[in-house]
Amino acid sequence: MNLVLFDLDNTLLAGDSDYEWGQFLIAKGAVDGPHYEAKNRAFYEDYKAGRLDIYAFLAFALRPLATHSRAQLDAWHAEYMATRIRPMIPQAARDLVNRHLASADLVAVITATNSFVTAPIAREFGIPHLIATDPEEVDGRFTGEVAGTPCFREGKVTRIEQFLAERGTTLERLDDSWFYSDSHNDLPLLEKVRHPVAVDPDPTLRTEAEARGWPVISLRG
């Protein structure tokens, strides 16, 4: 069995879907603009610097999901896909995904961004599996809490191990495995696959990839 994993933000997308969702909510007047924007930007900088407190971030990022109806959220998301996300999808990313879809047994997006935001994006690529941070739902409404293990740093390893265990296998038993990512935050999972690939990497990941002889590619050309 062959497995191909794609990070989403700044890997398949030329931007960050979580950050852009926050900016979209500000533009719609759905959140307190100046305060929310400052917090959104600060968390994004923490992420890039490798010092993000994932639970503090999720308490912030998931709160708007709990304060609006699912119908309203879904309507906003359709507009967000059209205006923010599709323009951030390079053709090279679609082509890479399609090549792997044609040959791999399992293809998945694995992302720290919550599944409400990212599930439609995975579908846009035609990727059948999504492993993401899951917002808790009760009676069809989001609670603002996280369900299970956040899909972040070492949590990505935990979540892919759970995903494979449900299919009766492990990373070690796979015939082959790939993981494409831009971020040093993904080093724990990059170290676990047979073919780690740095995609438009941040400076820390670029240094690590070059030192370890990992391929470095760009999807932005």
**Cα distance between residue 99 and residue 12, in whole Å:** 14
Do the Cβ atoms of 170 and 192 come closer than 8 Å? no
Q: Is 9 part of the annotated catalytic residue set?
A: yes
Q: Return the closest-CA partner of residue 159 out of 192, 197, 121, 119.
A: 192
**Angle, to 10 degrees, between the axis of helix 115-125 and the axis of helix 91-101?**
80
Residue 42 CB contacts under 8 Å (≥ 6 apart), including other chains: none
Longest CA–CA span in the chain (Å) reads 50
Residue 95 CB contacts under 8 Å (≥ 6 apart), including other chains: none
**pLDDT score of 81:** 98
**pLDDT score of 52:** 94
**pLDDT score of 84:** 98
Q: Can you list the domains of the chain with their CATH numbers?
A: 2-217 (3.40.50.1000)
Angle at 18 between CA 153 and CA 58, to 5 degrees: 60
What is the sign, positive or negative, of the torsion defined by CA atoms of 190, 200, 4, 133?
positive
* Residue 46, both tokens: 């923490």
Name residue 106's beta-bridge partners.
3
221 residues of the chain, pLDDT tens digit each: 999 999 999 999 999 999 999 999 999 999 988 899 999 999 999 998 999 999 999 999 999 999 999 999 999 999 999 999 999 999 999 999 999 999 999 999 999 999 999 999 999 999 999 999 999 999 989 999 999 999 999 999 999 999 999 999 999 999 999 999 999 999 999 999 999 999 999 999 999 999 999 999 999 96
**pLDDT score of 33:** 83
Q: Is 7 part of the annotated catalytic residue set?
A: yes
* Residue 157, both tokens: 């390893």
Do the Cβ atoms of 127 and 107 come closer than 8 Å? yes
| Residue of 9, 18, 182, 200 marked active site | 9
**pLDDT score of 76:** 98
Which whole-number Å values give the CA distances from 7 to 28, 63, 186, in the listed order?
27, 24, 9
Q: Return the closest-CA partner of residue 80 out of 5, 157, 27.
A: 27
Do the Cβ atoms of 92 and 220 come closer than 8 Å? yes
**70-110: per-residue pLDDT in tens?**
999 999 999 999 999 999 999 999 999 999 999 999 999 99
